[in-house]
Amino acid sequence: MEIYLVGGAVRDQLLGLPVKERDWVVIGETPESMVKQGFRPVGKDFPVFLHPQSREEYALARTERKTAPGYKGFTVHASPDVSLEQDLIRRDLTINAMAMTPEGLLVDPYGGRSDLERRIFRHISPAFAEDPVRILRIARFAARYADLGFTLAEETRVLMQSMVTAGEVDHLVPERVWAELFKALNEKSPSAFFYTLKDCAALDKIFPEISCLFGVPQPEKHHPEIDTGIHAMLCLEQAALLSPSPEVRFAALVHDLGKGLSPEANWPHHYAHETQGLPVLERMCARLRVPNSFKSLAMQVMQYHTHCHRAFELRASTITDMLAALGAYKPNNKLPEFLLACEADAKGRTGFEHSPYPQAGLLSAAAKEAASVDTSAILNSEFKGADIGEAIRRLRIKAVAEFIKSE
């Protein structure tokens, strides 16, 4: 059997990075011959098989032909006469179109190693323009490899922009957009995902809520970076440094969507942006099928991040009520994630990257004090209905007030 290691495994091995998954391409075989050799078929759209021992994926060499708009509009041809070079050229980038024999011999017909050494993302053929998902994939690769100095070839950027102009990205389905965004949020430099989309004019089409933030000014005193879009990217970068959680990173990214609605007459101020943005975020999450765990934290951060920043100025009653709204008194709460996203917002400003954020410690400790109050006397009293909740609230306000006074 003639087999070659292909795709990301070859790319990452040459970069000296850990190889998480290994995919193989098989030349000169048929589905029947694969099954006879013990491989289990698993591919739905094209012949893919699992190795009987390693469980790694082995795909028959294939070609693809564009037959309709969008990323599903392809006809696949897999047969023993398809060569390795034909299989490789249907891939997106030169750095993903290399193969390696089981003995470690590199097969590089399209200059992938040279582009890898020069840290360049370059499309392998004009057929790149046939699949709009490739725009998202390039952006995700930018998020993964930004720290290695990778840049986008100008001809590839121009091609991606022409795809946007031609309306190819309009065929992207929400589930695929979210899948790529989720992966990007888990990468080392997720802001590069959005900058790459912006550079090829795809950001406005795919994430219009984020795109419209660029060019919107903020008060220079509090935001030396001025531009709200840049602030959103700085917040995302800080969130990536503070937490591996994609939920925290998403919340930091979208917390200021309301500023995109501020009338120009009010610029650089953004009155009530914390609540103005909630419907925008609601619609965005609905459109992209964003999971509830991401949405709920993002909604909380959007609504209460200003309160969090002003924690040392708030009354005990305001802190108590905010913590209740955040669910901080429940055993399984997301207060730590909320505080991390707010800290990313505070540090996501030019010149404030290394500033301390004591508000997080204050609110975390206040939540513990309020949650630890003994409510048994109230629960066992003659209080009923809403009176029970109000009595517990007052008890917690007292505990928070005493804690703040002791600090």
The 10s digit of each residue's pLDDT in 169-193 is: 999 999 999 999 999 999 999 999 9
Q: What is the pLDDT of the chain when averaged over all its residues? A: 94
Tokens, residue 257: 């969507």
Q: How confident is the model at residue 379 (pLDDT cuts 50, 70, 90)?
A: confident
**Is 289:296 a contact under the CB 8 Å cutoff?**
no
- For the segment 8-22, the average pLDDT, to the nearest whole number, is 94
- Residue-level pLDDT at 43: 75
Which residues are registered as beta bridge partners of 6? 23, 99
**Is pLDDT at 250 greater than 80 in this prediction?**
yes
**How far apart are the C-alpha atoms of 233 and 293, rounded to whole Å?**
21
**Is pLDDT at 268 greater than 70 in this prediction?**
yes
Exposed/middle/buried for 327, CB within 10 Å: 0-12, 13-18, 19+?
middle
- Residue-level pLDDT at 70: 52
**Is pLDDT at 67 greater than 70 in this prediction?**
no
Which residues are registered as beta bridge partners of 401? none
**Is pLDDT at 356 greater than 60 in this prediction?**
yes
Exposed/middle/buried for 287, CB within 10 Å: 0-12, 13-18, 19+?
middle
- For the segment 219-230, the average pLDDT, to the nearest whole number, is 97
Q: How confident is the model at residue 259 (pLDDT cuts 50, 70, 90)?
A: very high
- Residue-level pLDDT at 387: 85
**Is 119:151 a contact under the CB 8 Å cutoff?**
yes
Other CB atoms within 10 A of residue 81 CB: 9
Among 254-258, 376-380, 383-387, top mean pLDDT goes to 254-258
**Is 240:343 a contact under the CB 8 Å cutoff?**
no
- Residue-level pLDDT at 66: 54
